[in-house]
Amino acid sequence: MGTPDFAVPSLKALHQNGFDIQLVMTQPDRPKGRGRQMLAPPVKTAAEALSLKVLQPESIRAGDVRHVIEQIQPDIIVVVAFGQLLPKNILEIPKMGAVNVHASLLPRYRGSAPIQWAIINMEKETGVTIMNLDEGLDTGDILSMEATPIASLDTADSLHDRLTDIGANLLIRTLERLLKNDIVPTPQEHSASTYAPMLRKKDGRIDWTLPAERIEAFIRGMTPWPGAFTFLEDKRLKLFRGEALATDHDSLPGTVVRGFPDELRIAAGKGLLSIMEIQGASGKRMPIKAFLQGCKVPVGSQFC
């Protein structure tokens, strides 16, 4: 059971390592983009390329879904970013239960956006946890875990790709150990849990009262989606990369301050943020030097 790109390497790893995949369950096709064309989830596309049977229920709680799974009588259900919580009457069907691949070091960052929030909150490391599924949100016992540092230039995109590979490899090793009864599940320390809520487009708006280093991390965490953005008068600008400067100033947060001719320095709550890559409302992503050649931003201009 899985839906987005993050789940595809795990599906492929299961197939490549000889696991007998009786069914792939994913979310229904959804309209996307400006044309609102119906697009298949990445897991469906990958499963069909492997000639695997696919089921796309609107709700996992529908009665016919349980019937389909009961007919299969699976040894185990593998869940990777499926997008729906499994009810008890589904979890109790497989002989070995259900396992989940989650992109954080649980119990930290339970929820749907652990990769983004780990970067936004300036964590030094994150990783992947394989756990037994229960009826809660990422609350099950831990089976295995692997950490990875968060690099200073990591975006949600680059960290996502690294964690997908870690997750797929860790999943296979974990399943092999489970089959040998070589794992003792470890209960999570629930008192230490944190939550990584789903992100919406509006969440990408930059708060210039924050310290520059936090804004820089926010931009990386919001890239590529939902994207970090700000407004200059009525123009919406998307920021892709910035550099925090530990420079004192007495300007209001969001104010453009003096820098070199090919720089765009903006006052933050503490320090300055030098914008490195930017995109205008109707333009393309470009280095700041190229952007400033076609769009002058005078000192004193106010971002909000």
pLDDT, tens digit (0-9, with 9 covering 90-100), for 52-88 = 999 999 999 988 999 999 999 999 999 999 999 999 9
Neighbouring C-alpha atoms within 13 Å toward the C-beta of 111: 15
Are 208 and 215 in contact by the 8 Å Cβ rule? The answer is yes
pLDDT at residue number 59: 96
CA distance 176 to 182: 9
Instruction: Find out whether 282 and 267 touch, Cβ atoms under 8 Å.
Output: no
Unique residue bearing structure tokens 């609107």: 58
- Interval 90-100: pLDDT, tens: 999 999 999 99
Nearest to 230 by CA among 221, 220, 219: 219
27 alpha-carbon distance from chain centroid? 17
Structure tokens at 245: 């400067």
Strand (E) or helix (H) holding 257 = strand 256-257
- Domains contained in the chain, CATH given: 5-192 (3.40.50.170), 201-294 (3.10.25.10)
In three-state secondary structure terms, 167 is helix
- Quick check: pTM over 0.85? yes
The whole-number mean pLDDT for each consecutive block of 10 residues of the chain, a chain of 304 residues, reads 98 98 97 86 98 97 93 97 95 97 98 98 98 97 98 98 98 97 97 97 98 98 97 95 97 96 96 97 90 94 97
> pLDDT of 264-286, one tens digit each?
999 999 999 999 999 997 789 99
Report how far apart the first and last C-alpha atoms of the chain are (Å, whole number). Answer: 41
CA–CA distances in Å: residue 265 to residues 195, 232, 234: 33, 14, 19
Contact by Cβ (8 Å): 107, 192: yes
